[in-house]
Chains A and B, each alone.
Chain A
Amino acid sequence: MSEIMHGAVAVVGGGIGGIQAALDLADSGFYVYLIEEGPAIGGRMAQLDKTFPTNDCAMCMLSPKLVEVGRHPNVQIMTLASVEALEGQPGNFQITLRQRPRYVDITRCIACGRCIASCVYQDAKFPSEFDVGLGKRKPIYIPFPQAVPLAAVVDPQTCIFFKSGRCPQNCLKACERGALDFTQTERVLTLDVGAVIVAPGFEPYDARRVGEYGFGRYANVLTAPQFERLLSASGPTTGKVLRPSDGKAPKKVAFIQCVGSRDLRHQSYCSAVCCMYATKEAIVAKEHDHAIEPTIFYIDLRAYGKGFENLVRRAKEEHGVRYVRSMISQVTEVPETKNLLVCYRDESGSLREEEFDLVVLAVGMRPSAKGQELARKLGIELNEHGFAKTSLFNPVMSTREGVFVTGAFTGPKDIPETVIQASAAAAAVEALLAPARGTRTKAKQYPEEFVSEGTPRIGVFVCHCGSNIAGVVDVKAVAEYAQTLPGVVHAENVLYTCSQDNLKHMKEVIREKQLNRVVVASCTPRNLAALFQDTIREAGLNKFLFEMVNIREQCSWVHSDQPEKATEKAKRLVRMGVAKARELKPLAVQSVKVTPVALVLGGGLSGMVAALTLADSGFETHLVEKSSELGSDLKEIARTPEGEDVQSLRANLLDRVCAHPKIRVRTNTAVKEISGFVGNFSTVLHRGEERIQHGVVIVATEAHEHKPNEYLYGEDGRVLTQRELEAKIERSEAREKTIVMIQCVGRNEQRPYCSRICCAEALQNALALLDQDPDRQVYVLYREMISYGFLEDLYRRARDSGVVFIRYDEQAPPVVRKERDQLFVTVRDARLRQEVLIKPDLVVLSTGVVPDPYNEELSRLLKVPLDAYGFFVEAHIKLRPVDFASHGIFLCGGSHAPGTISELIAKAQAAAGRAAIILSKEQLEAGGIVASVDPEKCTACLTCVRECPFGAVFINELGLAEIEAVKCQGCGICAADCPAKAIQLGQFEDIQELRMLEELFAYEH
């Protein structure tokens, strides 16, 4: 560790993992350089249409994050930049970057698209990276509509100017902002950072290498990423599913799984996400066009994550997606129709040939070539598959100290796993650089707000947006019209409202004319509202005295062929905006002091890791465990499936937790009562009625092995669970020769979810048994072999060692019986469709995991939700996997969802990292757009108390509803549902909305 410590961090890779890590770090007092190879951040997630298992719109989730990171004062985004070298040591690294020229000044570009329209290439002709080659782009282009930074970029590989030097450079002339600059050159720069997080992501496997499926030769064979673009509204067919050969809507669509994965000719590992994304794509395709009949051809259906089982069930039952367990040897194109012939084995075991209109190849994930290069330059090691080498117990730590790795760079994984790892890496960096926290971040100072009550004095700024708006809408007329509206004391039209000179001008006008309301009529508030609010705040106005009207997207762009009507519409929208502005009220934002102390509930693996992560970051932490000892969940586990020693991990954690000066451990202690809100919780413990003040809560209870009541368990000593067998092996007491393992025991209607870890446990135990005695016969009876990711190698090792895997159908589970003291297992081999009899000496049951029963009580105490099976429900399954919807409360551990030790460690680190964001602040801002109750009107009907997803509403001592401003997220549910209309949401008050509607309809011609 260096004596100099920089409070800045380099995050390499601008996908969802990099963005999450950047935001977590920047929010907790570190300056972040977000370094991206491409021209925009967003990564693979930006290309997705929907995400499993909820089928939410990917861009709708990602876009706010893009904007947030793009506007964050403590994040500097560096696009077209790659890492050249890393020197120094943890705390004091020098990272050298090479930044390629964009040929466009992003501070000037307003993404109006004029340069693109004027390019000498009349038609887009080059394959678009964003549309995976299905769409086309020009040499100058905007990567995608929601790109951050939202600016054009020139591709010198295809640009005529760079290729021949002879180009009229129409683009240069077309740009009204002078943003294009063909003299830009590559620059090399070196930055001082304390740590590096590496998140370069993955590459889809090149389907051309799997020649038997004809990708690249047969027009109607697509890869899944391409199909995703076909489904996307922003894609090349605007969301219509059309096949490339003839542009017709396909009816029969085949998905072929494991393309390039689980295949020694390509990649031996399982890519972990393809079963689910194919399921999602099949459902979404059907939603787009009900006539589509999707069929998914697969080996094992790996629906092992939270909510996955449910999605597959819905795909089958509600959407009619056909799943066929048979791999396809080859795809043959029908010459006349370009349809595709596929031979498969049907459920009855017969081989059939079927014609499909479209074939989608579920290509796997492979480590990106750029990632490999990056690893070399950063001096970190890769594993045998080319992914970043990490250790199981430090899942985000690379082989070089101070360099952390996250996301698909460490192995195939989905978005939540990536987000968890990103937060975990951020947490690890925070622990490393804790002393340098806040040394490089900037905090903005604002003048004191002047009281702006009284008669509205409204200023209206109408934007030309170059000719983007002014080319269609008569902006001058709009401004003149605005001047006539009641309350308006200033109106003008401006070339670019968002330009630096205008922002300065706006502040001057506010002061000169003593404006107390501002309306800007320009583009979408999504990008710039925050900028304008900041500007009026700098002028001393409350930032909520601002209203924005979108006359670009909603007027000039959609009605470009009807300029007069577009102008009329713009006037009407401005009139509505002014009407609302008249009713605007300043909203108070108070500061609440934060108690920089954490409470961690649950002293298992996750609780210990979370506590250590927080304590290492410098926060006092209370670790509270209900049972008599810490780490009891690890006691029965000797080693991980990969062979790591779990007991030494446990001992190490116990030592560190007990010795840490910042951790206070209480065992045999339950929580009696929790009150307060984010930053200021107060908890009473059962033992000694002790009261703890703390700023955050982390729920870290674990899950447990289910104890079965079938298959003679408990009746015959030769029937064990996997955990029991592991202990027996560890004691070298296993002498049996023939062993049968039964998977998915007790998995039924009530407990339909996959427990994720049992297959690996079975593989591990089977291998250990054969390791002790190679002459044993081990049979594993399974439904789906869940050996996702690198665990597939373990599955292959088990087969190579002679373990026989027999698949049974869910409807025909194995039968165990005892006759004259001999055990018999009969199972119907689903492939042979034949009954098989085994006479085992030992039967081992994989029973899955169930959440801690204590969860129910915690759920009640903390007012956080549980799902139907007793697992906690996170704020958002994709992007907020370790947060509860209620602020200040976080979750990790098996009681969130089952996971491997490595996954649980990452999740615990992530929860600690998220919690540290709050603890790192001296005070939190509360208020602003929040709801409040009018006590005169409240009838205490409790509707709001029930409806509030954040537990912000309580009944006060007067017996009336009251809303805790700190907890309120401003969603408006209570305001909408209150039968007495007693609740108003700031900035969206009834009167404000009504005034707008009145103006909309009362418009006189």
Chain B
Amino acid sequence: MTGAQAGDRQLTVQSADLLKEIEAHSGELVRRCFQCDRCATGCPMVSYMQHTPNELFRLIQLGAREAVLSSNAFWFCVSCYTCSVRCPNDIDIAHVMDTLRELSLREGFAPALPQARDFHQIFLGCVRRGGRVSELELMARYNLKLKKPFARAALGWELLRKRRLELWPRRGRPKAGEGERSRRSLVMRFYPGCTLSSSARPYKRSLDWVWERLGIEIEELPGWTCCGATSAHALNRDLAYALPARNLAIAQELGSDLLVACSACYSRLKITQKALENPQTRERISRAIERPLDGRVQIKNILEVLSEHAPRIQKEKIKALEGLKVACYYGCLATRIPRVTGFDDREHPTMMERLVLAAGATAVEWPAKTSCCGASFSVISEEIALKMCSQILEMARRCRADVLVTSCPFCQYNLDWAQWTLSRKDGREPTIPVLFITQLVGLALGGSEKDLMLNSHLVGSEKITCRTQPTVNTR
């Protein structure tokens, strides 16, 4: 919103060095931008940015190194990839933002949002130590860094009470015996990601229950480690490839494909897979993780796999969710993986709707199904994330949804947390329960509250559970 602040100082054009440097690091053609403004007009964070992405691109083309690398824009980038999806010139703009952040830090520019840098560094520290991230540890260290040891204490207690924080996290090494089982030739192995054992435990529970109910055998990828999430690609390009690549390499050794539940993990794995198509990148990363990479592992999103079973769910459901109006919320990362869409339609995905219909509920048509929830900004800058979540929740309410369902742990947490926080702040009654899609499917298939951990959300889901009754065609 910039430019205005950029002032009227005359800018003397410089050589193309900056442009070439950024293009070499990101692999993206920044020069191709023709200033259409789509990145700016679609960005949920643009109002916080000094420069819109295309303004930054123009400054890069003119060689204005100082103006570019000292901008706050890339620190406010939430990595929702809206810009990358909408760019008519096929530039992965969000990825260029990562490059700018990395270069800016490398050249010693002060970060515009120091807590963002701190958060990402602490996150990566956790990964370095344990292979996986414990949310409890992450938050404790982050609080210490900010010198606010008791920040979010009430939230922490609430989450612990709801069994959504893991006190003794597992590490990213195979347990005894796990290795042997893993040798069995399974076509697909499950990559749960770090959150599924803590804040998204209901996801894992309900998923396991649904698999069992459908008689699908599923086995975790042995020795899996964190995908790096936003933090890795926010600070370090190669780390962002190496972390998912390690998991891909394990799957490759086992000759199996990967089933991924978390949208962020899915996105990171897919993006890495795509990046590894470049032989130089593949060789570099392969050397870093000391494992061969052939790029043959298939990565499947839970929605893809689950929706294949929609006809069975429809047939075997024993509880009617009739009249339950469900808003399917995909968030940004499930569909928005530039150039790597695994989805039917990235602007209007319908896989989740198919499952909702199979479960006997009604899917509402609403316009916010791929809006961004604010992701890690719920930690870095609560106000921003609250605003973003409120908009989504408000839209769901106006479209008369009874419940939101999602397949992304972060989306579920943020939307749940936002309602809880707002209710504590200004007494607003939390209105819309936010369920994992597997919980909704589990409900239809006759799962109990306990089976599906329905009572562990911050916003109670009584509204739904009390409405479900056995269907007539129970056998």
A336 to B58, CA, bound (A): 40
B32 at the interface (CB under 8 A from A): yes
A-side contacts of B36, CB under 8 Å: 258, 299, 326-327
| Contact present for B38 and A329 (CB under 8 Å) | yes
| Contact present for A831 and B62 (CB under 8 Å) | no
A829 at the interface (CB under 8 A from B): yes
Interface string of A794-826 (1 = CB under 8 A from B): 011001101011010000000000000000001
Partner of A327, one of B3, B37, B52: B37
Among residues of A, the one whose C-beta sits closest to the C-beta of B88 is A263
CB distance from A839 to the nearest CB of B (A): 8
Q: Which of A345-353, A427-435, A648-656, A961-969 contacts B (4 or more CB under 8 A)?
A: A345-353
| Contact present for B8 and A835 (CB under 8 Å) | yes
Within 8 A of B (CB), among A210-233: 210-212, 214, 217
B-side contacts of A344, CB under 8 Å: 37, 41
B466 at the interface (CB under 8 A from A): no
Q: Which of B245-253, B340-348, B455-463 contacts A (4 or more CB under 8 A)?
A: B340-348
The total of chain B residues at the interface (CB under 8 A) is: 55
A336 to B366, CA, bound (A): 11
| Contact present for A805 and B59 (CB under 8 Å) | no
B-side contacts of A826, CB under 8 Å: 10
A343 at the interface (CB under 8 A from B): yes
Interface string of A308-330 (1 = CB under 8 A from B): 00000000000000000111111
A-side contacts of B289, CB under 8 Å: none
| Contact present for A335 and B398 (CB under 8 Å) | yes
| Contact present for A800 and B29 (CB under 8 Å) | yes
A-side contacts of B16, CB under 8 Å: 777, 802
Given contacts A265-B88, A345-B41, A833 and B6 within 8 Å (CB-CB)? yes
A-side contacts of B47, CB under 8 Å: 351
Interface string of B81-93 (1 = CB under 8 A from A): 0110010111000
Known A-B contacts: A349-B2, A832-B11. Give 5 more (CB < 8 A): A327-B38, A329-B38, A329-B83, A804-B31, A837-B12
B155 at the interface (CB under 8 A from A): no
Subset of 20 A-B contacts with CB under 8 Å = A210-B347, A211-B347, A217-B365, A326-B37, A327-B88, A328-B38, A329-B40, A329-B42, A329-B43, A330-B347, A332-B367, A335-B395, A344-B41, A345-B37, A349-B2, A777-B13, A800-B32, A826-B10, A836-B10, A837-B11
B7 at the interface (CB under 8 A from A): yes
| Contact present for B3 and A211 (CB under 8 Å) | no
Interface string of A327-343 (1 = CB under 8 A from B): 11110110110000001
B-side contacts of A336, CB under 8 Å: 398
Within 8 A of B (CB), among A761-795: 777, 779, 785, 795
| Contact present for A262 and B347 (CB under 8 Å) | no
Among residues of A, the one whose C-beta sits closest to the C-beta of B55 is A832
| Contact present for A333 and B11 (CB under 8 Å) | no
Among residues of A, the one whose C-beta sits closest to the C-beta of B400 is A335
A443 at the interface (CB under 8 A from B): no
B-side contacts of A777, CB under 8 Å: 13, 15-16
A-side contacts of B32, CB under 8 Å: 796, 799-800
Partner of B13, one of A264, A326, A327, A837: A837
A-side contacts of B464, CB under 8 Å: none
| Contact present for A834 and B41 (CB under 8 Å) | no
A-side contacts of B419, CB under 8 Å: none
A546 to B122, CA, bound (A): 97
A binding-site residues for B, Cβ under 8 Å: 210-212, 214, 217, 258, 262-266, 299, 325-330, 332-333, 335-336, 343-345, 348-351, 777, 779, 785, 795-796, 799-800, 802, 804-805, 807, 826, 829, 831-839
B176 at the interface (CB under 8 A from A): no
Among residues of B, the one whose C-beta sits closest to the C-beta of A263 is B88
A-B interface, 5 closest residue pairs, ranked by CB to CB distance from nearest: A329-B42, A211-B347, A263-B88, A327-B36, A264-B90
B-side contacts of A326, CB under 8 Å: 36-37, 40-41
CB distance from A931 to the nearest CB of B (A): 56
DSSP majority for the B interface?
A: loop
A799 to B6, CA, bound (A): 25
A835 to B19, CA, bound (A): 20
B153 at the interface (CB under 8 A from A): no
Given contacts A299-B36, A333-B367, A336-B398, A831 and B1 within 8 Å (CB-CB)? no
Given contacts A212-B347, A265-B88, A335-B366, A834 and B13 within 8 Å (CB-CB)? no
A805 to B62, CA, bound (A): 10
B281 at the interface (CB under 8 A from A): no
| Contact present for B34 and A335 (CB under 8 Å) | no
A837 to B62, CA, bound (A): 10
Partner of B31, one of A333, A335, A779, A799: A799
B381 at the interface (CB under 8 A from A): no
B-side contacts of A829, CB under 8 Å: 11, 58, 62
Interface string of B20-61 (1 = CB under 8 A from A): 000000000101111111111111001100001011001101
A-side contacts of B42, CB under 8 Å: 212, 329-330, 343
Partner of A299, one of B8, B34, B55: B34
B-side contacts of A838, CB under 8 Å: 12-13
Partner of A329, one of B13, B15, B33, B82: B82
A804 to B368, CA, bound (A): 37
A-side contacts of B9, CB under 8 Å: 834-835
A332 to B395, CA, bound (A): 10
| Contact present for A212 and B3 (CB under 8 Å) | no
Partner of B10, one of A264, A329, A837: A837
A-side contacts of B2, CB under 8 Å: 349
| Contact present for A265 and B41 (CB under 8 Å) | no
CB distance from A180 to the nearest CB of B (A): 43
Given contacts A333-B367, A804-B62, A834 and B348 within 8 Å (CB-CB)? no
Within 8 A of A (CB), among B173-191: none
B472 at the interface (CB under 8 A from A): no
Partner of A833, one of B3, B31, B365, B399: B3
A-side contacts of B399, CB under 8 Å: 335
Given contacts A330-B42, A829-B58, A834 and B11 within 8 Å (CB-CB)? yes
Given contacts A217-B348, A799-B32, A834 and B38 within 8 Å (CB-CB)? no
Partner of B3, one of A263, A335, A834: A834
CB distance from A391 to the nearest CB of B (A): 29
B-side contacts of A211, CB under 8 Å: 345-348
A344 to B37, CA, bound (A): 8
A214 to B345, CA, bound (A): 12
A329, A795, A831 — most chain B CB neighbours (10 Å):
A329
B4 at the interface (CB under 8 A from A): yes
Within 8 A of A (CB), among B67-104: 82-83, 86, 88-90
A-side contacts of B10, CB under 8 Å: 826, 834-837
B-side contacts of A299, CB under 8 Å: 34-36
Among residues of A, the one whose C-beta sits closest to the C-beta of B57 is A831
A327, A328, A839 — most chain B CB neighbours (10 Å):
A327
A839 to B42, CA, bound (A): 36
| Contact present for B59 and A832 (CB under 8 Å) | yes
Partner of B89, one of A264, A333, A807: A264
A836 to B8, CA, bound (A): 10
B-side contacts of A328, CB under 8 Å: 38, 41
B-side contacts of A833, CB under 8 Å: 3-4, 6
| Contact present for A834 and B7 (CB under 8 Å) | yes
A835 to B33, CA, bound (A): 20
Among residues of B, the one whose C-beta sits closest to the C-beta of A833 is B3
A83 to B366, CA, bound (A): 45
A473 to B337, CA, bound (A): 70
A796 to B33, CA, bound (A): 9
B-side contacts of A332, CB under 8 Å: 367-368
CB distance from A366 to the nearest CB of B (A): 16
A-side contacts of B8, CB under 8 Å: 834-835
Among residues of B, the one whose C-beta sits closest to the C-beta of A343 is B41
CB distance from B45 to the nearest CB of A (A): 11
Given contacts A265-B90, A299-B34, A327-B36, A349 and B348 within 8 Å (CB-CB)? no
| Contact present for A802 and B31 (CB under 8 Å) | yes
CB distance from A351 to the nearest CB of B (A): 6
